[in-house]
Structure 1
Amino acid sequence: MAANAEACSLRSEIKSSVHFENRCDRVAIWYWFNYNGDLVKYASLKKGEFIKMNTYVNHPWCARDRETNERLEINKVPVYYPTETQDGTVNPVFIDIPDTIPDYNDNLVQTFTVQESRVCVR
C-alpha cells in the first residue's frame, strides 16, 4: 500500500522495544512505513490484543481500522515514531480512535513538530 510519501523509515541505528496495544473497539491493522514510504502490514490486533516488537527510532508506524480503513491514533498522533529504549525497557504504545477535538498540549505539539521534520519529500 503506497503511503504517498507521508513518512518513511530512515537509518536504523537507535533501537526501540515497543509494546503495541489496541484499546479501541475496532480491529486495528498495524503498518510500518518502509524506506520508500510504502506501508508494510505487520499485525492485526483486536481490542485488548498486543504485540511486542523490536524496531528503531526513525521507523514510523501507523494503524488503520480493518473495516473502514480510517486512520487510528497511536499515542494520540497519526504517525508514531518510537523512542529509544535501553536495558530491557519497553515503551507502551496504545492504539485509539481519534478524538473529535484534538488535545493540543505542549508535549503533543512538540512531538508533532519533531515528526514533521522526518516526513519524506520526493
Structure 2
Amino acid sequence: MTAEDLQPYQRIVQDVKDQVRLGRLSSNDKLPSTRELAGHYGVAPGTVQRALTDLRAEGIVYSHQGRGSFIRESALDAVADPTSQAIKRLEEKVADLADRLEQLEASHDRNN
C-alpha cells in the first residue's frame, strides 16, 4: 500500500510512527498542536484528532487536556517492525546467557 492509498489521517499516523522509528521523536516529546498539525498536513483539525485517537489506541501517544499530546516512553516498541522486535528479544536472551555463563565460570573458578 502506497502513501497515496492511505486516508489523510492514516498518513499522519504513519508519519508520526516513522518519526519515532527514525528517532526524530522520542519519549515525552510534545507534538505540535492540532491546529499546527492540520496546517502542516493540509487537513482539517478533525482529521488530526482522528489520527491522534488512533495513535493513542496504538500506545504511541498520550494526551493531557489543555497541555497537548506527547510521545509515550514505550512508543518505539509499539512502532518497531517484527524483525527489530525479534532482534531485540534475541539480544536480551544472549545478554542473559552471557551473565549465566559468567556466573558459572566464577563458581567453577572458586571451586578449583
TM norm structure 2:
0.27
TM-score, normalising length: structure 1 = 0.25
Q: Pick the structure with more strand per residue.
A: 1
**Larger radius of gyration between Structure 1 and Structure 2:** 2
Higher helix share: 2
